[in-house]
Amino acid sequence: MEIVESVKKKIEKENKREIERRRWRERERESLFHSAFVCSIEMFNIMKQFYI
- Provide the pLDDT for residue 52: 67
pTM for the whole thing? 0.57
pLDDT at residue 17 greater than cutoff 90: yes
Alpha-carbon gap, residue 36 to 25, rounded angstroms: 16
* Pairwise pLDDT comparison (3 vs 14), residue with the higher score: 14
